[in-house]
Homo-oligomer: A and B are copies of this chain.
Amino acid sequence: MNADMVSAGGGQRILVVDDEVALAGVVASYLIREGFEVIVAHDGPGAVATARESDPVLVVLDLMLPGFDGIEVCRQLRTFSDAYVLMLTAKGEELDKVIGLSVGADDYVVKPFGPRELVARVKAMLRRPRADPAGPDDTPPRRFGSLEIDPAARTVTVDGRPVELTRTEFDVLAVLSSRPRSAFTRSQILEQVWGPNWFGDEHVVDVHVGALRRKLGDDAAASKFLRTVRGVGYAMVTR
């Protein structure tokens, strides 16, 4: 493992990832001075592993890393963490492929940057409310005919029989059921379930709705639960 703990009590935990040890140290020291608890990693795999263990609220991430680069780190991070990501990019850094923002960075700073600027960005970011709530969902269970949805437990039953849903399936169902009868566009669903930074084919929604219908015993033609709103998206049926 390639991470050093450079703790300074009190604040929120921040992971700094940069292969230039000196630079990482400087960044860390400035953040520590501001009262954050800082952990440092120097390569891609180490960053992911460390993030997994220590669950930082924010990750300062150099774009160019040995092992695999910041983009890959960011992508992996996104699969298990809601941490904010602040990308560090060198001025004029050439990248044919997708850079940070496309994989879910929240902000970026161009090198060379002043420490003050960095700190300001970090603070600004932490002040900003995050879309998806970290805590468990305490919304009370909802019932639609024979379908019961319990957001807290993330369980679903039809006619009292439990139905096994995957994470995405459940999330889609949860969004639709949050405003029953209302038509949601695919885009709105994507925004809620996949987050604002996801980018891909809207068609994924269809596939998951398809899976949902199959598991719930629903039928696209005569929908009991999930109504297709042609040209728009989907809606939960109330009955």
* Residue count of chain A within 8 Å CB distance of chain B: 68
- Total copies of the chain: 2
**B21–A94 touching, CB < 8 Å:** yes
Which of A94, A106, A197 has the most CB atoms of chain B within a 10 A radius of its CB?
A197
Considering only residues 216-239 of chain A, those with a C-beta below 8 Å from chain B are 229-232, 235
Considering only residues 33-52 of chain A, those with a C-beta below 8 Å from chain B are none
**Contacts A99-B26, A110-B20, A181-B153; is A188 near B116 (CB within 8 Å)?**
no
Contact with B along A91-128 (1 / 0, CB 8 A): 11111101111100111101111111100100010000
Q: Enumerate chain B residues within 8 angstroms of A23, measured Cβ to Cβ.
A: 99, 101
Per the bound structure, the CA–CA distance linking A150 and B113 in Å amounts to 33
Task: Given contacts A29-B98, A101-B115, A167-B232, list 14 more A-B pairs with CB under 8 A.
Answer: A21-B94, A23-B99, A23-B101, A25-B95, A100-B112, A107-B111, A114-B195, A115-B197, A116-B199, A133-B185, A136-B188, A153-B182, A166-B230, A168-B231
